[in-house]
Each structure stands twice: as C-alpha cells, then as structure tokens.
Amino acid sequence: MSDLSSLTAAQLVAGYATGDFSPVEVTRAVVEQAEKVQPHVNAFVRVYGDEALTQARESEEHWRRGEPRGPLEGVPVTVKDILLERGRPTLRGSWSSSAEGPWEEDAPSVARMRGAGAVFVGRTTTPEFGWKGVTDSPRHGITRNPYDISRTAGGSSGGGSAAVALGAGPLTLGTDAGGSVRIPAAFCGIFALKPTYGRVPIYPASAFGTLAHVGPMTRDALDAALLMDVISQPDARDWSQLAPPHAGFRDTVKDGVRGMRVAYSPDFGGRVEVDPAVAAGVRRSVGKLEEMGAVVEEADPGFEDPIEAFHSLWFAGAARVTQYFTDEQREAMDPGLREISEDGASRSALDYLAGVDVRMALGKRMGVFHESYDLLVTPTTPGTAFGAGLEVPEGSGYRRWTEWTPFTYPFNMTQQPAASVPCGVDGAGLPMGVQLVAARHRDDLVLRASHALYEAGAAEIPAPALRGATP
C-alpha cells in the first residue's frame, strides 16, 4: 500500500499488528499530507508535526513490545478547535480566546483517545464558537471544500471534514449542535455520526446546552464504530452522560439491515425543496437498503419546521457565550454571531421555555414515530456545497444557516443519533449525503445501516483531485 495516508484506522491497526508498516511511517505520511493540503483548504489551526512523530515513536515501541495501549494505538487523529486538548491552546475561532496556557485538561473524548494510543496531528478549524453551518472565522479565515476550493467545506466541523477527505488523518472529533458534523460530512464526502446526546461525555458543557453533541468524523462507518467504542466511556465531569453501552459498536456494526423497518422521507412531506441530484442519490441509497433486506416505506414524521424554537435556544446560547465580552471583543466578532447574540439577549426566559416546549413535543412525536420505524432516511442537506465564505447559498434569499439545513437541526432538539453517509456526487462533482436517523439510544442501528451501505459500495465516491495537489 503506497499511500499510507489513504488508509482507514481499521486498516492501520491491522497493518501495525502484522508489521506491514509502522506508526512512524504512517504519521509522517499524514503530517506531510496535512502540510501539503493546508494552503489550499485551511483545514487546520495548527499542525503539530514534530510532536505527532514523537507520539508515533512511542506507539511504535508499544507495538514492538506487543503491548498496544488500546484500539487506536498509533492512529493519527485530529481534534476540532472547540474541544480541550492538553498542552495545546483551544482558540474556538475567536479573537476573544487567549492562547495563554497552561491548558492542563483534555476533553473527555480527547482523553479517551489519548488513553487508547492515538497520535494527535493537529487542531482543525471552526467558525467562531461553532455557531454556524459553514467554517470561516475572523481569526482563522475560510475553510474550503476539497472537491472545489471555491466552495465551502460546510460546518461547523469543516476543518475536520476537509482533513479526513484529504488524507490528513483518518479520524477526527467534531461537535454537532445543529448539523455540524453531518453538514460538512455531506459536503466533503465522508462519514459522520452525531450520537445520542450523552453517549459521548462532554466537558466543559457547551453554551448551547443539550443541543451540542460530540461525534466521530471518519472515512467509513466501521472506523466510526471503532472510535465510538473508545469515546463512549464515562467521565465524571459530565453530569448528563449516559451509562456505557451494553455492547461494543464494533460487535454489532456488521449485523446488516435485513428486517429493519425504514421510513423514507425525501422532502419532509413536500416541505423542503431538494436538489434533483441529491434526491436521486438518496433514492439510490434507500433502494440499496431495500435490496439488502430492509423493509422500506415512504413515510414522513409530519412535524412542522421548528426553526423559531431552535432559534430561541440557539441564539440564547450565543448570547450566553458572549455575555461578558468587552466592546472591543464584540467589535472583533463574526458579524453574524454578533447579530444572533444580540437577538438572543433580547429574548425572555418565557421565549426560551416556549422553545423547550416545542422541543419536548418534537421529541415525543419522534419517539412515537420510531415505535413503527427503526430508521428515518432523509437527505442530509437539500443541496451541495455553495460558495466559500458565505453563510447561505448565493441567491437563496436566506438570511441564516438554519434555513438551508432543515434536515439536521431538528434531531439535535430531539437528541437522536443521526449519521451522514455519502450517496454520490452531483453534476459538478460535488459530494452529496444521505441522513440516517434512529430513536434515542439506538446508535447501533444507525451504524449498522451506514456500514451496510459502505459494504454494498453505495457510499463510494471519487477521491478529491486535491489529494494529489502540490502547494
């Protein structure tokens, strides 16, 4: 295998075990790839090449002694610059964040990866405090799409999606409070899972409250199952965490979809206008699930767009995270974040609680819906990637990112597990995504169906030409 940076985490661990290649060889290839593509897409806040190679040498010694520390021993990983990482600044895309240390704590998911032997390559870009569905910030600039650098990578975990798509590490950690791992996964042609809320512990708690999930962004669903087994372990710092899963996700991910009851909602009952290419790609994926033995029915959950309730919750979170900013800090903010922060600050506690009421009613509706269906399948996004540096598609008439993401944020309100799987490319060669949603606590079903699509070849798309680019 000549291109070590193109391998999945599962392939890397298997190769380490047989001695076909080493963590140092792989880490060197991944760091070189990260540095090569960075000038084109701006996926990283910083690449830690020398530190990563030092960690890789430690992993190589563990493998030499036959004592790997865990299932990620020697696997290069990246982390969104929202999550704490010991010894490295967490800047959150904001000039309000100081790089001053000492940065002594890992977030729970980062700590679990470290304990499992991962090699940390770099910090990936985010919009300021992860506030929107694209990735650009006043502090770190615009992150671009690996398939067309004139377009956005999506967000808010856009840096991680670009990194994985371009071979700069097979695994990355992202956060998702309204679609932030699924949107960029769809735009960049990779896999992402937003787990059930609480399945992956979070610390410190997000200003966006229980909308915010931590999840894996990977090359395929098998790697996501591998990473979920690591990061789903408990951490006492998160009071809202769930108990550890009863079975490992790798133990069930290959169980297939035969007999699985699938509701296919192509456009939320005609409420969402979906690009014809995206609609066709989603239909192909649904057809493949049916061929593999799933029982498919076109059915819609039938809820009205909860956008205003989401805005009450979301804008309040933005107001909270910026509550103590000085006038100078507010002037340096992303203008869109400043707008929604001011909106959130103007809303009352009753407005917020009215949003909570809508959220609870939506959760009940989806709970009842999943008594009849194991999975709900929709597009991840109605269209493909649009112009880089924009919050909304050109000429759409939209004002906020939530208006073009109607398939993603409702399932943050309900805390359900949801994944995005590639389902082809459009006429311009841009990736498209299909979203798979299950009832709370049934992350295993989402991973099983996603893996089945990969095994059937339904998730295969061309690699971005930028993988072979030179600065």
pLDDT at 97: 96
**E strand or H helix that includes residue 14:** helix 9-18
Q: Among 87, 172, 75, 170, which Cα is nearest to 126's? A: 172
Active site residue 156: yes
Q: Distance between CA 141 and CA 130 in Å, rounded?
A: 14
SS3 of 122-181: the string is EEECCCHHHCCCCCEECCCEECEECCEEEEECCCCCHHHHHHHHCCCCCEEEEEECCCCC
Active site residue 396: no
Residue 384: strand pairing partners: none
102, HSE (Cβ side, Cα atoms, 13 Å):
2
* Assigned token pair, 108: 């729970």
The DSSP output letter for 400 is S
Tell me: the pLDDT tens digits for 203-242? 999 999 999 999 999 999 999 999 999 999 999 999 999 9
Q: Is the pLDDT of residue 414 over 70?
A: yes
Identify the active-site residue in 5, 94, 157, 180. Answer: 180
Q: Is the pLDDT of residue 471 over 50?
A: no
Radius of gyration of the chain (CA): 20
Residues comprising the chain, all counted: 471
User: Which residues lie below 8 Å from residue 417, measured CB to CB, with a gap of 6+?
Assistant: 193, 194, 195, 196, 199, 437, 438, 440, 441, 442, 443, 446
Q: Distance between CA 423 and CA 441 in Å, rounded?
A: 25
Q: Distance between CA 231 and CA 233 in Å, rounded?
A: 5
- pLDDT band at residue 469 using 50, 70 and 90 as cut-offs: low
Query: Each residue of 57-85: b (16+ CB within 10 Å) or e?
Result: eebbebbeeeebbbbbbbbbbbbbbbbbb
pLDDT at 470: 41
Averaged pLDDT score across all residues of the chain: 97
pLDDT at 59: 98
SS3 of 171-221: the string is EEEEEECCCCCHHHHHHHCCEEEECCCCCCCCCCCCCCHHHCEEEEEECCH
What domains are defined for the chain?
10-468 (3.90.1300.10)
Tell me: the pLDDT tens digits for 344-353? 999 999 999 9
Q: Distance between CA 342 and CA 376 in Å, rounded?
A: 36
Contact present, 391 and 404 (Cβ < 8 Å): no
Contact present, 103 and 223 (Cβ < 8 Å): no
Tell me: the pLDDT tens digits for 356-370? 999 999 999 999 999
Active site residue 80: yes
What average pLDDT does the segment 149-171 reach?
98
Tell me: the pLDDT tens digits for 265-288? 999 999 999 999 999 999 999 999
Q: Position of tokens 């975990």? A: 157
Contact present, 238 and 231 (Cβ < 8 Å): no
Tell me: the pLDDT tens digits for 281-325? 999 999 999 999 999 999 999 999 999 999 999 999 999 999 999
Q: Is the pLDDT of residue 1 over 50?
A: no
Q: Among 389, 350, 425, which Cα is nearest to 132's? A: 389
What average pLDDT does the segment 422-447 reach?
98
357, HSE (Cβ side, Cα atoms, 13 Å):
6
Identify the active-site residue in 5, 22, 36, 80. Answer: 80
3-state secondary structure of 61: helix
Cis amide leading into 156 (omega within 30):
yes
Q: Which residue has the higher pLDDT, 101 or 107?
A: 107
pLDDT at 467: 82
Identify the active-site residue in 5, 156, 157, 312. Answer: 156
User: Which residues lie below 8 Å from residue 327, measured CB to CB, with a gap of 6+?
Assistant: none
% of the chain beyond a pLDDT of 90: 97
**E strand or H helix that includes residue 47:** strand 44-47
pLDDT at 249: 98
pLDDT at 381: 99
Q: Which residue has the higher pLDDT, 276 or 101?
A: 276
Q: Distance between CA 418 and CA 182 in Å, rounded?
A: 8
